[in-house]
Amino acid sequence: MIQTEEFGNMLLLDGMVMTTEKDEFVYHEMIVYVPLYTHPNPQKVLVVGGGDGGTIREVLKHPSVTNVVQVKIDEKVVEYSKQHLPNIASEYSNPRVELSVGDGFMHILNSEDEYDVILVDSTEPVGPAANLFTKGFYAGISKALKENSIFVAQTDNPWFKGDLIRDAIHDTKEIFPIARLYTCNIPTYPSGLWTFTLGAKTHDPLDVNVSRFFDLDTKNYTPELHKASFVLPKFV
């Protein structure tokens, strides 16, 4: 953890920026709101990774959600975030949150027909996280999801990880009837342009009825941005 003048407290893992107090809301709102607004009634949500707590914070703003299971391989990141990023890691005492310390890959493989939404808020595809970017993992996600459900995974930036993104969307298309790629802009991440891969069994995020969007205290996400985020630069 380092303190910066422009971005406040900044969490780094292995020298790479994971999140900052100033711009974290962009990432966390986009990984959460797009799938949870696409699903008509999300109740049980799984978060793989996301140790800073921002993803579960945003999930819990959705009134239909009754249970959030977070699987994190290293609890130290969670405890560190509680201490140094309290505004981000603010919901770990919420009774709807269940924190499980373990391997997200194995948790997925051992789950079946259980979750409405799965969010893969992982680090770079190295070490234990490498398995979270494989076709086998996406197939496991499909099995762990209930009928008519959705998953989203962060899939890095198109400037330096184009092959990873192409593989992710290709593998998702082979497993899910609906596969989409969407983006957002995060100043402290490499290149600033970030992607998310979405797989859905039934509900297309481009066909969302914006009239059902309820009023949330967001800083970035809007119904208009929801659809606009799927408009990709030509090189992507």
* Binding-site residues: 28, 52, 103-104, 121-124, 128
User: How does DSSP assign 138-170, residue by residue?
Assistant: HHHHHHHEEEEEEEEEE---TTT-HHHHHHHHH
Sheet of 44-49, strands arranged across = 97-101, 67-72, 44-49, 115-121, 145-154, 193-200, 178-185
* Binding-site residues for spermidine: 28, 52, 121-124
Q: Which of 143, 135, 168 is nearest to 154 (CA)?
A: 168
Q: How far apart are CA 141 and CA 108, in angstroms?
A: 6
Residues forming the active site: 121
Q: How far apart are CA 27 and CA 40, in angstroms?
A: 22
Place of tokens 């090189």: 235
